[in-house]
Chain A
Amino acid sequence: MKYLLLIISLSGLSACYQDSDVVFHQAGVYKGQVDLHNVTAADHEALLAARFNQVQTDR
């Protein structure tokens, strides 16, 4: 009986812990994953401008 009580109390206590993966919200602050890219913004801009001239200009 003692062991049973011990097991029940231990299993009950097992739910009482703090998950370290929780994202603590802070108003106005983005705390998601950071979006990283291989090319710099300037290079990307030039690349997309060239693409625009290639496929979206008036026919």
Chain B
Amino acid sequence: MARMKFLCDSERCIECNACVTACKNEHEVPWGINRRRVVTLDDGVPGEKSISVACMHCSDAPCQAVCPVDCFYTTEDGVVLHDKDLCIGCGYCFYACPFGAPQYPQEGAFGARGKMDKCTFCAGGPETDNSPEELEKYGRNRLAEGKLPLCAEMCSTKALLAGDGNIVSELFRNRVVRREGRPEVWGWNTAYKD
């Protein structure tokens, strides 16, 4: 069974933010919500590193563990999704997530959070694949169309990889061997312990 994973090669990421733009455009993500962000470590210092961060679709997802209404589920592909009809916007998942993935549109008065929104690995939600309801709530379902997440597909330097963990890790391993460096698989030890 495939287990979909993201991997960002910090040696290749040039902080162009195209993945962020592609994600927002593809899913028509509203203002104030970024399902994906590019984080730069030691910005301005020689040797700075950038990584593209979104939901890592953890094997044992902490968001899923803490959700008081159990609105999360994991697909057969290993993608962690949630049902917005069940979400109460409590924010527990935001505190549990080591990657800061869950986002809230802040609808309503008195700072009330709306339904949580996060990266879906371009797999939509529980609604019928590519239905108008799914598009409105979760964005486009590219996986159902046989495509991979747009952020990774259009990455010009191929820093961001998305796909079956075995294929992604093999590709990355070959890269590391070629450049005779040490692997820096950022986030993998946290997200994919098994």
User: Interface size (A, Cβ < 8 Å)?
Assistant: 29
Knowing A25-B70, A56-B162, A57-B171, say if A35 contacts B144 (CB, 8 Å).
no
CB pair A47 B144 closer than 8 Å? no
* Separation of A30 and B158 alpha carbons in the complex (Å): 36
In the assembled complex, the CB of A16 is this many whole angstroms from the nearest CB of chain B, namely 24
In the assembled complex, the CB of B96 is this many whole angstroms from the nearest CB of chain A, namely 15
Counting CB contacts under 8 A, is A6 at the interface? Answer: no
Interface SS majority for chain A: loop
B-facing residues in A37-59 (Cβ within 8 Å): 37-38, 41, 44-45, 47-49, 51-53, 55-59
Interface residue ranges, B against A (CB under 8 Å): 1-2, 4, 68-73, 75-77, 81-83, 85-86, 125-129, 143-144, 146-148, 152-153, 158, 161-164, 167-168, 171, 174-175
**Can you list 19 A-B contacts with CB-CB less than 8 angstroms, sorted by A residue number?**
A23-B86, A29-B70, A30-B73, A32-B86, A33-B127, A35-B125, A37-B129, A38-B144, A41-B76, A41-B77, A47-B146, A48-B77, A49-B2, A51-B147, A52-B167, A55-B153, A58-B158, A58-B171, A58-B174
